[in-house]
Amino acid sequence: MSTTTTRRAAGSSPEQRKSPGRLTVLASVGGQNLSLIGALAVVLALFGVLNDNYLTLNNMQVIAEAATITGLLAVVQTVVIICGGLDISVGSQAGVASVVSAMAFTTTGANPYAGMAAAVGVGVLIGILNGVIIVYGRVNPTIATLAGLAAYKGLAQLISDGRAQGYVLNNDVFVFLGRGKIAGLPVMVWILILTAVAVHLLLKYTDIGRNIYAIGGNDTAARLAGININKYLIAVYALIGTVAAVAGILLTARTGSGQPTSGSEGLELKAITAAALGGCALRGGKGGIGGTLLAVALLGALENGLTVQGINSFWQNVAQGALLVIAVVIQQRRNGERPIGLPT
């Protein structure tokens, strides 16, 4: 080997000295996702040691079913964050859809399809309303959807008189959605998988997805490139409303009645936490569905583990808040952003 070759080898970076196989794995999975996989493995192993019933197939299905509604909302939260926005009202939207689906089911003579159609229709209208307020009202997405969080929660309580509405467990369609299985997996989980795959393909392999990343990365450059940002923002919020309605329908199917707040309260925090943990940059332009789903699994496994150990449920909120802060701190460090109030 020549002297020049020896010097090049000695002076190569750690990344260059990694084996091709390792580089391929890192590139395909991603460092963020590998960290989440590691954290998930630690949580599963820890609670598996503490409780013999934790790693049973039955409990894994319980975790999956419980995480489905959060997962659906986290998937669309990922899209809006990539686009440079945020939606804090997704939990309240799901609550409205849950109530509407049950009430429409009851008033149409126990027609499940009428109930679902009514819920989806309301979800689309709410999503479009959010988008219009943000785009044409020139309201910051955080403020607009924070207002929506309160308004839609109040709407769900008004139309339901603050009580659970209807009873759907005497209907085969709702029972199938809430408790049925296909190929051994709960139907709810299949709905999450299909939704996540569809959104992933949209983001990664279509011009629409590339434009969404472009808007979140640099909206000025996207506008100069001819992208109609207003149209995209309204469409993204309409998508959120649609999927939130599906989540509300599943909430009705799972609990047996329309729930104005119970079951939907706090979902917005879980969805945002999952998206942030999954690698979404809260300033937009970065993120993916795979990381979000891993974060949903991590949150579900942690929440279930705390429950089976009999730990006070209030600690679950503490854990979620801590994880959100940790996720944002990691993002700040990776992006090299200067902390507010500290010298460069």
What tens digit of pLDDT does each residue of 107-124 get? 999 999 999 999 999 999
Chain segment 200-239, per-residue pLDDT in tens: 999 999 999 999 999 999 999 999 999 999 999 999 999 9
The residue among 20 and 89 whose pLDDT is bigger is 89
**Is a pLDDT exceeding 50 seen at residue 101?**
yes
Question: What does the DSSP assignment read for 149-181?
Answer: HHHHHHHHHHHHTTS-B---TTSHHHHHHHH-E
Instruction: Tell me the percentage of the chain whose pLDDT exceeds 90.
Output: 68
The verdict on domain 52-306+316-323 having CATH code 1.10.287 is: no
The burial of 342, by beta-carbon neighbours within 10 Å (0-12 exposed, 13-18 middle, 19 or more buried), is given as exposed
Q: Given this model, what pLDDT does residue 342 score?
A: 54
Mean per-residue pLDDT for 230-253?
96
**Is a pLDDT exceeding 50 seen at residue 14?**
no
**Is a pLDDT exceeding 50 seen at residue 2?**
no
Q: For every residue of 307-321, which 3-state class applies, written as one string?
A: HHCCCCCHHHHHHHH
Mean per-residue pLDDT for 87-102?
96
**Is a pLDDT exceeding 60 seen at residue 28?**
no
| pTM metric for this prediction | 0.87
Mean per-residue pLDDT for 175-182?
94
pLDDT band of 274, cuts 50, 70, 90:
very high
8 Å CB contact between 288 and 278 = yes
Q: Given this model, what pLDDT does residue 12 score?
A: 45
- How far apart are alpha carbons 290 and 298 in whole angstroms? 13
Lowest mean pLDDT among 114-118, 241-245, 338-342: 338-342
Q: Given this model, what pLDDT does residue 264 score?
A: 75
- How far apart are alpha carbons 227 and 256 in whole angstroms? 44
Q: Given this model, what pLDDT does residue 29 score?
A: 56
Residues with Cβ < 8 Å from 73, sequence gap 6 or more? 90, 91, 94, 243, 244, 247, 267, 268, 270, 271
**Is a pLDDT exceeding 80 seen at residue 13?**
no
pLDDT band of 318, cuts 50, 70, 90:
confident
Angle 289-308/57-82 helices, nearest 10 degrees?
A: 140
